[in-house]
Copies of this chain bind each other. A is one copy, B any other.
Amino acid sequence: MNASPAADSRLDETIRLGHGSGGRLSRELLDGLILPALGPAGPGQMDDGAIFSPPPGDLVFTTDSHVVTPLEFPGGDLGTLCVSGTVNDLAVMGARPLALSLGLILEEGLPMDTLRRILESVGRTASASGVRILCGDTKVVERGKGDGIFVNTAGIGHRIHRLEASRIRPGDAVVVSGNIGDHGFALLTQRKGFPLESPLRSDAAPLFDLIHRLCEKVPVRWMRDPTRGGVATALCELCQSQPWSVTLTENSLPLDPAVRGISEILGLDPLYSANEGKFLAVLPAASVDAALEILRSHELGGNAARIGTITEDHPGKLLVATDFGNARVMGMLASDPLPRIC
């Protein structure tokens, strides 16, 4: 019997199509939930665009859409992931993250509480990365035309370190900042019907601070965050069309015991599994000890290791040297045994 207009305008418990209309409901969602949840890392208001003054020099621009399922998982959630992913893309290009955008595609019926938790996570991770969310946009699609929340985060960074594949030379070392495959395997164990219990957690984390400390002290040549496709795909992309190869040493790969166990049981190779809080670095062999010391003294680099070398046999190929003294060639991930991990 309550037909007052106010009854229609309160924040409902789930997302409705009208929240994407660009009208009054959109404004209420923005002011009542989105901006408060993002907190101080968020924009004061979300206008059509944000004005900012970058420091002089080169900028880096990157974008990533995130369609991970489930939205929340051990070690993180979509919010941690979408900020970390873009911050890390900037950081491995040698850039200090300056600004992120946040493009939300919400499915009708999404619980407001879920949206709030994810956005709080966005705000927390952005604050931890020292980056501001400068602008955003929210769209809503009908039930059954989306899947909870999809997020796009584009990012702008200020380039402060020169990291380029063209600087790599045979003899350089390949280092990884920690255990391989944690994110992909943690997601795998959360999927419907997965038969094993595991203590695995996603490694999703923003890496700029760690990368910046390393690059200030060590002449890093090149970096990459091995997300979808894993370490193997990132290194295949690196060496293809180069006059050198990458040789990994199989027994040097740092692996969580649970990842090792599940990979042996299921026959999945952690080298193809996604990471969301690790980077690969190529640096002069003489700098490996210094690099590992810096990495291992940081909470996000505890299990850093040298895993390989830039070699000259089989140019353009990624090789894995086994314990038995032979080497196999690895290609890029062909397809994906586990879709929607990021």
Contacts and interface: CB of A to CB of B under 8 A. Distances in A.
Given A93-B49, A144-B144, A145-B146, A333 B23 contact: yes
A24 B101 contact: no
Given A54-B54, A152-B65, A339 B49 contact: no
A82 to B, nearest CB: 11
A60 interface: yes
A84 to B, nearest CB: 13
A296 interface: no
**Stoichiometry (number of copies):** 2
A63 interface: yes
A135 B62 contact: yes
A229 B339 contact: no
A25 interface: yes
Nearest to A141: B67
Contact of A154 (B95, B154, B331): B154
Interface residues of A, number: 79
A52 B63 contact: no
Given A137-B65, A154-B101, A336 B18 contact: yes
A286 interface: no
Given A101-B63, A152-B63, A24 B135 contact: no
Given A62-B135, A335-B17, A227 B22 contact: yes
Contact of A49 (B9, B89, B152, B228): B89
A21 B227 CA distance: 10
Nearest to A28: B332
A78 interface: no
A75 to B, nearest CB: 20
A8 B142 CA distance: 34
Contacts of A59: 51-54, 156
Q: Which of A93, A155, A335 is most buried by chain B, counting CB atoms within 10 A of its CB?
A: A335
B147 A141 contact: yes
A159 interface: yes
Interface in A145-199: 145-147, 150, 152, 154-157, 159
A56 interface: yes
A25 B21 CA distance: 36
B228 A335 contact: no
B147 A145 contact: yes
B49 A58 contact: no
Given A49-B89, A147-B141, A147-B146, A65 B104 contact: yes
A102 interface: yes
B103 A24 contact: no
A136 interface: yes
27 contacts: A8-B334, A8-B335, A17-B336, A17-B339, A18-B336, A21-B228, A21-B333, A21-B335, A22-B233, A22-B333, A23-B228, A24-B332, A25-B334, A49-B95, A49-B157, A50-B61, A50-B62, A53-B58, A53-B59, A54-B59, A63-B101, A63-B102, A63-B137, A66-B139, A67-B141, A103-B152, A139-B150
